[in-house]
A and B are shown apart, each in its own frame.
Chain A
């Protein structure tokens, strides 16, 4: 039983740290604001969440477990919300996502990116 818990906890921790590292690389490598923010959002929610779950499996004390659950809930609530607010503020201030030529043609049918098409043409 113990070995199962240990392995699953280690797996969660590994996935979490991998997501965090890839998020960090993403911030540096992605082309524009929105994709970078996606990297940050993934780091905040999935990376931190996985690490917290891994720690939760590993914890023996109930109090530690409860604290970790609370931190997880708070992270799950706040992190997506902040990403959402950031994206909304950027869009509100007229920052348009960088799109490749194909996607511009496809999405020009949609309502949201009408302005994008007009500004590009």
Chain B
């Protein structure tokens, strides 16, 4: 019953996203879409995925898209041409995909390949082989460590791409802005700033909890990194970029993002040197279970570092670019009249 309600809502939101012309509303709706799919995952008992979806899909990606919208403008360009060939192509592809699903096993059937292939082994043997209660974490960090490594490299590449496109050498200026922030605090954003100051330590603490509790419950490096970055972004949005830049040293955070990937790769290399396969944590220590625990701990730590720092890098560079754009416009406006 609740599945049907959630799926209907998802469909309604998706149609609204297509129909809407106001990009700001579209971004908000995509956030709602993320939250709805997170609740859908909870209804299907996939709490780890739901956690990730709530943190990434509803939280951070909405925020990053909002930052992009401040650069591109709010309204969608009107299309003059009628894209009938494209519509035809989409309809044909959709029909083929639906035709393809006819061969798939019935939803939730017990003899589906996904339930009979590797899943029984993970469920039965994970406790003896890995020794941590959360099977999702043991699959993600140990059985499928190589896939996770690929994901981490993708995130790192995104950070590098943003850096290559948007970053610039910073002029050591605007020291006056930082001083005046404390004065303007009493006029604007007073309530939000005080509440944020109260909440920030708890958000950071919660990020650490998610990071280290991933072995026992839903959580892990990805979610922890996103929550950590969200706290920093909240701080930067409310107290100004220049203040946040004092707290978060840009070169240092870039170093951290690279260090995370390096640490992840090194864990694999060490297990290779100790005589096992790449990412075979049994060889990290004398005892196999201890080795697994050590490997998963290090890898979650690496993932958390890289994800947090890459998201902070992306946000800072976008916001920085926007600030430069605005200051250029202001200079133009002052010159022209």
Chain A contacts to B: CB under 8 angstroms: 77-78, 81, 84-85
Contacts and interface: CB of A to CB of B under 8 A. Distances in A.
Interface string B215-256: 000000000000000000000000000000000000000000
B contact patch SS: helix
Interface string B179-216: 00000000000011001001100000000000000000
Contacts of B192: 81, 84-85
A contact patch SS: helix
A84 B198 CA distance: 16
**In this complex, which of A78, A81, A84 has the most chain B Cβ atoms within 10 angstroms of its Cβ?**
A81
Contacts of A77: 195, 198-199
8 contacts: A77-B195, A77-B199, A78-B195, A78-B199, A81-B195, A84-B191, A84-B192, A85-B192
Nearest to A77: B195
A85 B196 CA distance: 12
A84 B196 CA distance: 13
Interface of B: 191-192, 195, 198-199
A81 B195 CA distance: 7
A78 B194 CA distance: 11
Given A81-B192, A81-B195, 8 more contacts: A77-B198, A77-B199, A78-B195, A78-B199, A81-B191, A84-B191, A85-B191, A85-B192
Nearest to B202: A74
Nearest to B196: A81
A72 to B, nearest CB: 14
A81 B198 CA distance: 12
A81 B194 CA distance: 10
A78 B198 CA distance: 11
A81 B238 CA distance: 13
Contacts of B198: 77
Contacts of A84: 191-192
A77 B194 CA distance: 11
Contacts of B195: 77-78, 81
A89 to B, nearest CB: 10
Q: Closest 6 CB pairs between A and B? A: A81-B195, A84-B191, A85-B192, A77-B195, A81-B192, A81-B191
A78 B200 CA distance: 12
A81 B199 CA distance: 12
B203 to A, nearest CB: 11
B29 to A, nearest CB: 17
Nearest to B194: A81
A82 B199 CA distance: 13
A94 B80 CA distance: 32
B188 to A, nearest CB: 9
A85 B194 CA distance: 13
A77 B195 CA distance: 7
Nearest to A70: B202
A16 to B, nearest CB: 21
Contacts of A81: 191-192, 195
B32 to A, nearest CB: 15
Nearest to A85: B192
A78 B192 CA distance: 9
Contacts of A85: 191-192
A46 B195 CA distance: 19
Nearest to A84: B191
A78 B191 CA distance: 11
A84 B191 CA distance: 8
Nearest to A92: B188
